Structure 1
């Protein structure tokens, strides 16, 4: 087997269940090595406890977890309304508190990992991009230690203000304009990735404690059992792009307008005269959803099986 890809996972785990699915998928993916996990947006401390507990139950207690930025770079509002940044995640439970997450902040953990890595690291962002934007602001010298950034965020082929970008549009735009290679998987693609009922039934009857926690979180998030694999698709794109079609484009994230904060604006067209081939941003245009969902869910369902 080829050398594993070193990754940092930055997540807003604890609300939409797709983050927890992505973390389980990461633990089940031998192609990658998880160097650390950081949490972001609205009570990142509680999110860190959830992530740490899930990793422990999945057999990875040594992976460091750090609580990152709870507040965005500038605007404290979202969709024109104030945000309670101390609000607990929907799937938080006091029993998830282990007290074992890192004393470092999310930004400090990312910086430490990049500084000490012998090779460039892939950063996978599954929530607001505040933590990685902070790293780029305060330690631009570490860009050379980042192989690429794989993002779940934005909507590139539909008129939609996607949640992760809306959390911190300034941070999303900063990452997009960083000059780093960015592989972005938008909600217009991920919405197709819905597991069939048979997969959810298999998880509901699973005996592994990590999967049992995953499904407990799932029941706290959704009453109908419907799940969309937004974040797992972004994680999957790190090591297997065969299920995706990417194209080079130039996009910016709107951050000033009242009603369109967080929306993606395409600049690589005839009006702006900016060719997409000059960009280091690759956006997912299509996905083979049945193939991806089957491969992803098969890995998660097989947790705990003898290899």
Structure 2
């Protein structure tokens, strides 16, 4: 398929809202904020997605790879290969208790020590463009671009990153967002590459919390995806206390959704540039990015999320 097709907005609106499953690589810092775990479960429960590879990102990617492996095993999906991304520190993960002494040799699926190369190879070999769902700092994506800039011609990006008009907790005005400020040079490189980008900034995802009957349905579900999410959420709340009966902010689930559809989001093309402080600034000199700036139907999105986690 030609590079021109990849450049079309939303890769033909996410392959006509994913009539054919979209091949996806997930690049995730799972093990930090818990929303990555929710996003992974959502993707596994979405028939619109064909998850080809998961690559761990940022800080202790060795331990994060073990965590992803145990979660996939708990969710019954050891068919999915995992790649270890660039390790940047030995910072502890926030799901340590749940991980326990699980080791990678227990995982029945394939594990790549060089996750960046596995990502490049997956993109190169795919007969159709691959969607990179990027829900952590973009260190691995920059490393992949450095090794093979041509991957931008065979991939598109759906990322949780940045803040355009709304900051954390719904406040007016942009904030430097975590996934950007954690590796600003990487974010600059990803935004500069010539691929289509669909962005879930704080404007849409920064107040997304599952409450009431929707959260209760996930918490009570016997679906292994939901059970693993809730078990990890209980462990994670040891670090970040949240009220019982609701989730934390589920930032990353919006990027997962943008991999295959955009209908529930208010999408706007904005020229953006990443500045030296980690802000995603609007600028005439910026590159066009399709941003989920708000919601057309947030309740429908939440229902979709619950269904993905609870439909075995």
The TM-score with structure 2 as length reference comes to 0.83
CA displacement, residues 120-164 of structure 1 (integer Å, 9 cap, x when unaligned) = 111000000111111111101222221x10010111113211111
Question: Which of 25, 31, 40 matches 2:48?
Answer: 31
| CA–CA separation in structure 1 for the residues paired with 2:261 and 2:143 | 28
1:236 matched to which residue of 2? 257
Number of matched pairs: 276
User: Of Structure 1 and Structure 2, which has the larger fraction of its residues in helix?
Assistant: 2
The residue matched to 1:16 in structure 2 has which SS?
A: coil
Question: CA contact under 8 A between 1:179 and 1:280: conserved in structure 2?
Answer: no
CA displacement, residues 157-208 of structure 1 (integer Å, 9 cap, x when unaligned) = 1321111111111111111111211111101210232112222222333334
| CA–CA separation in structure 2 for the residues paired with 1:219 and 1:26 | 21
| CA displacement at 1:98 relative to structure 2 | 3.5
Question: Relative to structure 1, is the Cα distance of residues 5 and 103 closer, same or farther in structure 2, using a 3 angstrom cutoff?
Answer: closer
1:5 matched to 2:11: no
| CA displacement at 1:69 relative to structure 2 | 1.3
Question: CA contact under 8 A between 1:35 and 1:64: conserved in structure 2?
Answer: yes
| CA displacement at 1:6 relative to structure 2 | 0.4
| CA–CA separation in structure 1 for the residues paired with 2:139 and 2:27 | 10
Question: Which of 176, 180, 184 matches 2:191?
Answer: 176
Question: CA contact under 8 A between 1:21 and 1:214: conserved in structure 2?
Answer: yes
Q: State which drifts further: 161-170 or 184-193.
A: 184-193
1:283 matched to which residue of 2? 291
| CA–CA separation in structure 2 for the residues paired with 1:34 and 1:103 | 16
RMSD between aligned residues: 1.8
2:6 matched to which residue of 1? none
| CA–CA separation in structure 2 for the residues paired with 1:210 and 1:266 | 38
The TM-score with structure 1 as length reference comes to 0.84
**Structure 1 gaps, min length 5:** 72-84, 256-260, 269-273
1:133 matched to which residue of 2? 142
1:155 matched to which residue of 2? 163
